[in-house]
Structure 1
Amino acid sequence: MIKLTARSRAVNKENAPETLEVYAPIADRLGMGKLKSKLEDAAFKCLHPEKYKRVESEAVKKCDDRTEYINKIKPALREILEKEKIAPLEISARAKHLYSLYKKLLNCEMDFDKIYDLVAARVIMKDINACYLALGAIHQQWEPVPGLIRDYIARPKPNGYQSLHTTIVGPEGKITEIQIRTPEMHSHAENGIAAHWAYKEGGVNNKETAWVGKFKELTSVINLFENRIFVLTPKGDVVDLPEDATPVDFAYHIHTIVGDECAGAKVNGKIASLDAKLKSGDLVEILTQRGKKSSADRLNFVKSALAKDKIRSALRAKNRNMGAKNR
């Protein structure tokens, strides 16, 4: 079993697939970007060592050049913001992790020059208002690339990630991604819900300890069962379901009324059919319709005994009510 910490023992060929299919998606859905990256890179290195070496070798050279460029434009970037009286708290360079880079290269004919966010400039501002002011100031100075502006503050990702992303034509004509966020957003992007545990437990030093405890709790459950999947609620709670479970199974696990009134579902932020097969790491949100009753056809696709029992119970109650009305 793999532990999701920086000190975990090395991922091996036996557990690397599990790392990519179960643990990395769970870390992602919990918003733990740093941990997700470490898990994916470790599994990538183990499963595809030759590809890993090739990507790493080329990335090191390219990243060094791009990092040098980001460091070179940092004074100009800081000057632009300070001129608008919105001094940044921090400006740094962020390199894309190898597995994420590899997946992107597959869609770009393995051409590193087409990866504009290989190394991005990360700007930390004091609050949300300063983030938007910074975005405007940057666009006044450097031309933004059309279609490559993302507002994850107004519309966060399903895992809670928030940031402003823009891609600009910077000095020397180099296309560069800039990410703008607050300290709280950055903490969540790096550590996800562990950031909230850390604040509750009394500070940054407890962050890793809190996550280790929570994950040990989770992995002990995962070890006990085979043919199970582990999906997430919008609040980050992990729900244990049988393999091939559907949103209806999930809904009944949350509450009988949620299951009965389930009218639709979103999986990873997108509308999904009620008979869709869920997989580990999915973020599931149930859409309800007040007064809606469960139907017999759902028995054809639900997988959990709990859901089947609840549906049959609802159907029996419905039949009893109809019988009473006909008397």
Structure 2
Amino acid sequence: MSTITALIDRIKKYNPNCNEEKIKRAYKFAQLAHFGQKRKSGEDYISHPLETALNLTTLHVDEDTIIAALLHDVPEDTTINLSVIKKQFGEEVGFLVKGITKLSKVHYRNNMAERQIESLKKLLIHSAKDIRVILIKLADRLHNMHTIDYIDKPEKVLRIAKETMEIYVPIANLLNVWELKNELEDLCFKTLQPQQYNSIVAKLNENQKNSNFYLQKTIKKINEATKKQHIKIVDLQGRQKNTYSIYKKLQRKNYSFRGISDLIGVRVICETVPDCYKMLGIIHNLFTPKPYKIKDYIALPKANGYQSLHTAVFGLHGLPTEFQIRTLSMHLEAEYGIAAHYFYSYGHDKDLSIAHKSKKQWATKILELKKQFSDPHSKIIEQLKFDIFQDRIFVFTPNGDVIDLPKNATCIDLAYAIHSAIGDHAEKAEINDFEVNINTTLKSGDTVKIITNKENHPSSTWLDYTQTSLAKRKIKEAINQESKEKQILMGKERFQKELYLSKGLNLASISSSTFKKFLNSSPYSSLEDLYIAIGEGKLNPNEVIDQINKSKIHEYNVKFKIIIDNSVGVCIDCLKIFKELDINITKILGTESLLQKSEAEIKIYAKIQDIKQIRQIMESIANVPMVRRIERMTPYRSVLLILGFILIFSLLAIHPFVIKYVITYVTPNHPFFYIILPYTSLVIIYIFTLVNERLFSITLAEKNKMGQIWLASLIMSVLGLIVAIAEIIIFKLQIFTILFLLGIVLLYSRLYFIYSKEKDRIKKL
């Protein structure tokens, strides 16, 4: 067990003038407060706050942060309240301790999950005012993870490890506190995936002796070369890649263990930026660089502010070796992140401005989420994962401003990040001078111009293409201001779109009784209320579709047809989408268009496991360059339509024989039948149009087939009319001319109505 003396010694290494007496007094205060309390490991409870404080010394934190770490569990686990701590150690320490203290267990005794979420909200809001709050919490969680094996409940162990991996590791990553982040990540990996962890550790241990040997020889060779070039090196050190990052790289890129280029890593700390580039040249003269492995994060920093030169080379004996080259200030920023700006003295006014900027960015993100904390329907953990914890990208405005966004953000997210007025009237965008849809996904480094139109307004479908809570909130606010009729229309359109993407169906394919059954088991009293909820973004249409279908899709065959430009690489780009979504392809057919040599057609047969995958495929492939359109092939519905045509054709073919039979054997005794006979052909065709409307609406999903199906329907109706007129002439049937003409007008009006409705639907899709 560590001691207070060890803590003081660590602090004095970076802060010789620290108030030793005050720190010892805080330690004694915590020791007395926790007297008699034990950890699960059997150690005195004071060992935990002491280890938390020791973890913080790696960040060179100030005295108040150390003292707050020593006292952080006192208000929660003892009878001493926060006011006593403020009186003894000052308001600043009191604020830090308050931010870390969880909410009362008594108040939340019936809902501990809610207590955890509310405590997390409190922690983050306090951290927006003072970043030291979150740093203490990270150090606290690190020691808890080190002692997690002493917890006797397996489900609690897994919950803590998962929570750490999903929440605290991403926070450490966002703040660039790499040492804490890597250690937390490896401890979670060890707990959650012990077999994979042990396998990688065993391989690392096997290679350690050789790696150290080649590492020392590489460092020696670099030192000799820099002396000849008269470049002053601040530091030259080997770099160990953490276990979990090795595992992720193996999973992501299907590398062999030897193929990972940064298992052997060297970090070079130079005095100036020009020296960094000179060092890059020296390394490339000594070793052969690997193609496409040079990354200049000095000229173009990462979204989190990280700066360094990266290069991977074929090192000694051809072993893959990675070099990171940076200045001291860049190194401190990279290793200690936001903590470097608060506790390290290394820079100039520029560094101070970066500190304020880093603090502002963190605070802005948290306070933006705070606006939604009061919403009882808010899925706070999901919002945190998207807005703060997710991997980040950065994009440029035409003016050169850098906008930080979560990975997979779209142009809509960017528009609202710039200004809500731009988001509300966004119509389309230009990415790297190419015009794209407003829902296009952005990549790091894109230069994006948002094009607005005063007549354009947010649609509920935009919610499907946004990642940030800011964009979602602004869209919902704009939609809520729309009229009730418009909200119903927006919700209906969004539901129709999701229904087609997931099932290939039209709204007409769902009966009113099916909707009624769903409404009876839902909080919505009418179909209009349901559409309003979907339009406002309060209800996900896929939830309705899943309920209507009673169960989600598990696995079945789905066929896609993709029309592309006949160019090299387009097919491969489409297939990559299936690989990225982890979807199994069972069959691929590709043909060149006979009419247009510049066009080709790909048919892909895939196994779909999730209802959302269909939507993801169609949206992702539609955004691939040189893809003209993608369609979901639904042949069985086309078969039903063809069978319908055959049935009607057969009825019309035998109809004259039926007429002759009725005239000969039935009408002498029942003259009424003689009156209605001339109209029966028209009635058959009209009934066909009503029945066929459902088939027509769910089959007429592809624009290029629309003309063919419509022409067939028109021919069938004309054939029916010819049969009716022929029967009147041949059998000398008496008719009411006006009534007969009215029937013809009614028939063709109905056909035109179906055609117009489906044509409008196709445009929306």
TM-score, length basis structure 2:
0.33
1:260 aligns with 2:428: no
Quote how far apart the aligned CAs of 1:258 are.
4.4
> 1:98 is matched with which residue?
243
Helix, strand or coil: the match of 1:113? coil
**1:273, 1:68 → 2: CA distance?**
54
Deviations 1:271-301 (A, max 9, x none): 99755899xxx99999564764473452333
Q: 2:299 is matched by which residue type in structure 1?
A: A
> 2:475 is matched with which residue?
307
Is the 8 Å Cα contact of residues 238 and 266 (structure 2) preserved in structure 1?
yes
> 2:230 is matched with which residue?
85
1:295 aligns with 2:438: no
**2:167, 2:282 → 1: CA distance?**
41
> 1:54 is matched with which residue?
199
Stretch moving more, 170-179 or 52-61: 170-179
Q: Output aligned runs, 1:115-126, within 5 Å.
A: 115-126=260-271
Quote how far apart the aligned CAs of 1:131 are.
0.3
Is the 8 Å Cα contact of residues 94 and 122 (structure 1) preserved in structure 2?
yes
Q: Output aligned runs, 1:3-18, within 5 Å.
A: 3-5=137-139, 7-10=142-145, 12-18=157-163
> 1:138 is matched with which residue?
283
> 2:211 is matched with which residue?
66
Q: Output aligned runs, 1:175-186, within 5 Å.
A: 175-186=320-331
**Structure possessing the higher relative contact order (Cα contacts under 8 Å, 6 or more residues apart):** 1
Is the 8 Å Cα contact of residues 429 and 437 (structure 2) preserved in structure 1?
yes
Q: Output aligned runs, 1:228-243, within 5 Å.
A: 228-230=382-384, 231-232=387-388
Helix, strand or coil: the match of 1:9? helix
Is the 8 Å Cα contact of residues 94 and 121 (structure 1) preserved in structure 2?
yes
> 2:69 is matched with which residue?
none
The change in CA–CA distance for 1:304 and 1:108 in structure 2 (over 3 A counts) is closer
Is the 8 Å Cα contact of residues 261 and 292 (structure 1) preserved in structure 2?
yes
Quote how far apart the aligned CAs of 1:81 are.
1.1
**1:35, 1:112 → 2: CA distance?**
25
Is the 8 Å Cα contact of residues 260 and 294 (structure 1) preserved in structure 2?
no
Gaps of 5+ in 1: 316-327
Quote how far apart the aligned CAs of 1:149 are.
1.9
Helix, strand or coil: the match of 1:167? strand
Select the structure of larger CA radius of gyration: 2
Helix, strand or coil: the match of 2:249? helix
Is the 8 Å Cα contact of residues 89 and 126 (structure 1) preserved in structure 2?
yes
Deviations 1:102-138 (A, max 9, x none): 1222356573221221130110001110000011112
> 1:149 is matched with which residue?
294
**1:272, 1:200 → 2: CA distance?**
46
Is the 8 Å Cα contact of residues 78 and 87 (structure 1) preserved in structure 2?
no
Quote how far apart the aligned CAs of 1:71 are.
1.8
Q: 2:476 is matched by which residue type in structure 1?
A: K
Is the 8 Å Cα contact of residues 252 and 307 (structure 1) preserved in structure 2?
no
Is the 8 Å Cα contact of residues 247 and 284 (structure 1) preserved in structure 2?
no
Is the 8 Å Cα contact of residues 459 and 475 (structure 2) preserved in structure 1?
no
The change in CA–CA distance for 1:292 and 1:17 in structure 2 (over 3 A counts) is farther
> 1:324 is matched with which residue?
none
Deviations 1:236-283 (A, max 9, x none): 9999xxxx99774685577433433555599xxxx99755899xxx99
Gaps of 5+ in 2: 1-115, 121-136, 149-156, 348-354, 395-401, 464-470, 484-765
Is the 8 Å Cα contact of residues 246 and 275 (structure 1) preserved in structure 2?
yes
The change in CA–CA distance for 1:306 and 1:151 in structure 2 (over 3 A counts) is closer
Helix, strand or coil: the match of 2:159? coil
The structure in which a higher percent of residues are helix is 2
> RMSD across aligned C-alpha pairs, in angstroms?
4.5
Stretch moving more, 38-47 or 77-86: 38-47
Is the 8 Å Cα contact of residues 150 and 165 (structure 1) preserved in structure 2?
yes
Q: 2:456 is matched by which residue type in structure 1?
A: S
**2:411, 2:452 → 1: CA distance?**
19
Helix, strand or coil: the match of 1:114? coil
1:162 aligns with 2:307: yes
**1:134, 1:105 → 2: CA distance?**
29
Helix, strand or coil: the match of 1:229? helix
**2:295, 2:405 → 1: CA distance?**
29
Stretch moving more, 59-68 or 306-315: 306-315
Percent identical among aligned pairs is 33
